[in-house]
Chains A and B, each alone.
Chain A
Amino acid sequence: MPHIERNVLYTIGGAIVLMTLLPWILGKVVPNQVFFEWPYFFEVAIGGLLSGVMYSLVALGFVLIFKASGVFNFAQGAMVLFAALTLVGLIDLGVPIWASIILTLGVMVILAFAIERVVLSHLVNQEHIILFMATIGIAYFLDGFGQTLWGSDVKRLDLGLPNSPIKLFDGALLVNEFDLIAALIAGVLVISLALFFQYTRIGRALRAVADDHQAALSVGIPLKHIWVIVWSVAGLVALVAGIMWGSKLGVQFSLSLIALKALPVLIIGGFTSIPGAIIGGLIIGAGENIAEVFIGPLIGGGITDWFAYMLALVFLVFRPQGLFGEKIIERV
Chain B
Amino acid sequence: MIYREAGEFKSTYQADQAIFPIRQDRWFILAILAIAFIVMPLVGSDYWLGTIMLPFLILALAALGLNVLTGYAGLLSLGTGGFMATGAFAAYKLATMFPGLHILAVLIMSGLITAGVGILFGIPSLRIKGFYLAVATLASQFFLIWMFNKFGWFTNYSASGVISAPPMTIFGDIYVTGPQATAAAKYLFVLAVVAFLALMIKNLVRSNMGREWMAIRDMDIAAEIIGIKMLSTKLKAFAVSSFLCGIAGALWAFIYTGSVEPAAFDINRSFQILFMVIIGGLGSILGSFLGAAFITLLPIFLSNAPHWFGMNIPVDMISHIESMVFGALIIFFLIVEPHGLARLWQIAKEKLRLWPFPY
Contact surface of A with B, Cβ cutoff 8 Å? 72, 118-119, 122-123, 126-130, 132-134, 136-145, 147-148, 152, 260, 263-264, 266-267, 271, 299-303, 305-306, 309-310, 312-313, 316-317, 320-322, 330-332
Contact = CB atoms under 8 A, between A and B. Distances in A.
B221 to A, nearest CB: 5
Contacts of A129: 70, 76, 278, 282
- Kindly list the 6 A-B residue pairs having the minimum CB-CB distance in the complex, ordered from nearest: A141-B327, A140-B327, A144-B324, A137-B330, A309-B139, A144-B323
Given A130-B338, A316-B127, A316-B132, A144 B146 contact: no
Interface in B123-144: 124, 127-128, 130-132, 134-136, 138-139, 142-143
Nearest to A309: B139
Contacts of A303: 146
B334 A123 contact: yes
A87 to B, nearest CB: 19
Contact of B146 (A133, A143, A147, A305): A305
Interface string B226-242: 00000000000000000
A306 B131 contact: no
Contacts of A138: 327, 331
B320 A142 contact: no
Given A136-B271, A148-B320, A128 B130 contact: yes
A88 to B, nearest CB: 16
Interface string B167-210: 00000000000000000000000000000000000000000000
Contacts of A139: 327
6 contacts: A127-B338, A144-B321, A144-B326, A306-B139, A306-B143, A322-B132
Contact of A144 (B132, B138, B275, B327): B327
B347 interface: no
Contacts of B221: 330-332
B267 to A, nearest CB: 7
Interface string B81-125: 000000000000000000000000000000000000000000010
B150 interface: yes
Contacts of B134: 132
Interface in B306-321: 316-317, 320-321
Contacts of A126: 334, 338
B323 A140 contact: yes
Given A123-B335, A313-B124, 4 more contacts: A118-B331, A137-B328, A148-B321, A301-B150
A122 B335 contact: yes
B151 interface: yes
Contact of A136 (B145, B321, B324, B330): B330
B139 A148 contact: no
Contacts of B282: 129
A316 B150 contact: no
Contacts of B135: 263-264, 266-267, 309, 312
A142 B282 CA distance: 25
A297 to B, nearest CB: 12
A127 B218 CA distance: 12
B43 interface: no
Nearest to B70: A129
Nearest to B339: A130
B29 interface: no
B222 interface: yes
A312 B316 CA distance: 36
A81 to B, nearest CB: 12
A161 B139 CA distance: 35
B131 A271 contact: yes
A264 B222 CA distance: 30
B139 to A, nearest CB: 3
Nearest to A330: B221
Contacts of A263: 135, 138
Contacts of A130: 278, 334, 338
A108 B238 CA distance: 40
B219 interface: yes
Contact of A134 (B151, B320, B325, B334): B334
Contacts of A133: 274-275, 278, 330, 334
B1 interface: no
A266 B128 CA distance: 14
A197 to B, nearest CB: 21
Contacts of A320: 127-128, 132
Contacts of A136: 271, 274-275, 327, 330
A316 B70 CA distance: 20
